[in-house]
Amino acid sequence: MGGRWLFVAVGLVCAVGCSSGDADSSTAETGGTGGSAGSAGSGSGCASCDGCCADSVCTPLGSQTSDLCGVRGAACGSCGSGESCVAGVCSKVQACDPSTCPAGCCRDDVCVDAAEQGWSVCGSGANACAECVYGSICNGRCEDGIDRSLEFEVGLVAVGVTETNGPEPWDPTGGPDLVVCVEPVDPTLGGKRGCSVPCEDVANCNFQKDEGGLGVFPGASVTAGLTFSVYDQDPATGDQLIGTTTVTPQKTIALGYSTGAFDDVLILFFELREP
């Protein structure tokens, strides 16, 4: 049951004619017949009700709450403090602690076992579950290795090149129209070549998240290597390659990755994002 331990509160159902003070509930380790419920419901809507009745309207088991709980057409009752309605029975969930969750973590007082954990829910020893950086590995704690089973969007953040192509300008009219492309070193691992929109501002060529996406790659493809190429886009004379480099990310870095300078490229900064 996903690490949940249940102690079931047995509802004692009053027969017709009981006073309101006769109904009671107690806690036991075995299942009961319903929540703290009143007399059987009346009306055609409750004749075959598997749940409980409120104002002659059936509340089926799948729709019950802690305020409307019961079985076999009995009047709906409310559960006590700290209880919830499970299959028409008021039930108390045992607290998540080291004795009940030694290898997992606690989220909303529910144990999340190690086998159920990932980057978004991670922890051990009944400590509060933590959220790791997207794509990182959970081994009872957040580790900065890249999960090869996940997919990552390669997002371009910034690129900058030298102001001139040697002694000459990149274009007759000034700076280049920069385009950045990325492709996997091993295409068999997945992912296709993708390129950015052109950027004309060499001094401040930054990309927003909605315009810097270069493509989605499996984690296995990312760790095997990504090749970045920077071009001066020129439809008239053909694109000119400014520089190319290959990186092999092995760790998740929340602030992103820098390739360092290469060829005539001064900086190339990118992120590995959740697609």
In whole angstroms, give the CA distance from residue 28 to residue 11. 10
Q: Under 8 Å CB-to-CB from 128, ≥6 apart: which residues?
A: 105, 106, 107
**Mean pLDDT, residues 210-230:** 93
Mean pLDDT for the chain? 80
CA distance 145 to 142: 9
Q: What is the pLDDT of residue 199?
A: 87
Does residue 88 contact residue 36 with C-beta atoms inside 8 Å? Answer: no
Phi-psi region of 206 (alpha: psi -120 to 50; beta: other; left: phi over 0): beta
Segment 75-125, tens digit of pLDDT: 999 988 777 786 788 877 667 899 889 999 998 788 888 988 999 999 999
pLDDT at 43 over 70: no
What pLDDT sits at residue 110?
Answer: 82
Which pair of structure tokens corresponds to residue 263?
């060829």
Q: What is the pLDDT of residue 45?
A: 66
Do residues 126 and 106 lie in contact, with contact meaning Cβ atoms separated by under 8 Å?
yes
Global confidence as pTM:
0.63
CA distances 111 to 93, 97, 179, Å, are: 11, 8, 48
Average of per-residue pLDDT across 130-149: 93
Q: Summarize pLDDT for 174-200 with one digit per residue, the tens.
A: 668 899 999 999 999 999 999 998 887
- Higher per-residue confidence, 171 vs 261: 261
Task: Write out pLDDT tens, residues 127-139.
Answer: 999 999 999 999 9
Cβ atoms < 10 Å from Cβ of 44: 8
Q: How far is it, in rounded angstroms, from Cα 23 to Cα 75?
A: 12
